């Protein structure tokens, strides 16, 4: 897909599948340099330079909404073709095999092995600003390695179980600590995700989205 009429803003589809709080993500992506479009149009979702999968609420509800809208198929097709996808918050969590919330065990998208479970912390939810520890070579956190980001969650991925063998590049893992370490972000080929909300993280969040958008042109060459 060609960029917008400006010629320099890559088209980023924000998947509209019924999850709340998506308009702030669209505004943040626009501010970061994308031509962001909230859409459920299958052709646009597949053809856009980038796809953002937001997620707010319970793991089970997000997965049900994705499956009922066939969003899970669209995400899988994009990744099979090496097309960039960015998951945010529960949009990151559903990329793992399963999520267990309050006794409910839900099958996820299975892009990564592992289970999303409740954090072991004295106070939940983990809500507010926190620092992260970006993995070596991170593109998402380039220039913002020491910034703080905004989290709102009680569940997370507390282990990374994917074993990647050469010649495939090792995923870049970014960790955060709240009661215990959990994954704050993953960069794994065309698939990236953040547990925090870039669209609520001020200038640092905009810069992270801009770093991701900058990578879209390389991914589609």
For the annotated catalytic residues, the residue numbers are 89, 197, 199
User: Which tokens hold the place of 12?
Assistant: 């980023």
Distance of alpha carbon 17 from alpha carbon 40, whole angstroms: 7
- Overall size of the chain counted in residues: 221
Helix segments in 57-155, DSSP class H: 59-68, 71-80, 90-93
Q: Which residue in 145, 152, 176, 120 sits closest to 24, CA to CA?
A: 152
Spell out a b/e string for 81-116, using b for 16 or more CB atoms within 10 Å of the CB, else e.
Answer: eebbbbbbbbbbbbbbbbbebeeeebebbebbebbb
Give every strand in the sheet of 104-107, ordered side by side: 104-107, 96-101, 112-118, 155-157
């Amino acid at each position: 897909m060609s960029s917008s009429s400006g010629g320099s803003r890559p088209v980023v589809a924000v998947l509209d599948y019924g999850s709340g709080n998506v308009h702030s993500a669209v505004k943040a992506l626009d501010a970061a340099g994308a031509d962001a479009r909230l859409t459920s149009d299958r052709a646009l979702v597949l053809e856009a330079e980038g796809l953002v999968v937001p997620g707010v609420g319970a793991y089970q509800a997000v997965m049900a909404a994705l499956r009922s809208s066939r969003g899970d198929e669209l995400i899988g097709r994009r990744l099979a073709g090496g097309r960039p996808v960015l998951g945010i918050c529960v949009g990151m969590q559903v990329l793992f095999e399963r999520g267990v919330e309050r006794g409910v065990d839900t099958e996820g998208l299975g892009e990564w092995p592992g289970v999303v479970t409740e954090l072991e912390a004295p106070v939940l939810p983990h809500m507010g600003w926190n620092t992260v520890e970006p993995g070596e070579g991170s593109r998402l956190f380039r220039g913002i390695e020491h910034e703080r980001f905004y989290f709102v969650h009680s569940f997370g991925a507390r282990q990374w179980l994917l074993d990647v063998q050469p010649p495939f590049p090792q995923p870049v893992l970014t960790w955060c600590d709240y009661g215990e370490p959990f994954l704050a972000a993953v960069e794994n080929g065309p698939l990236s995700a953040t547990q925090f909300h870039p669209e609520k993280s001020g200038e640092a969040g905009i810069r992270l989205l801009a770093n991701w958008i900058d990578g879209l042109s390389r991914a589609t060459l």
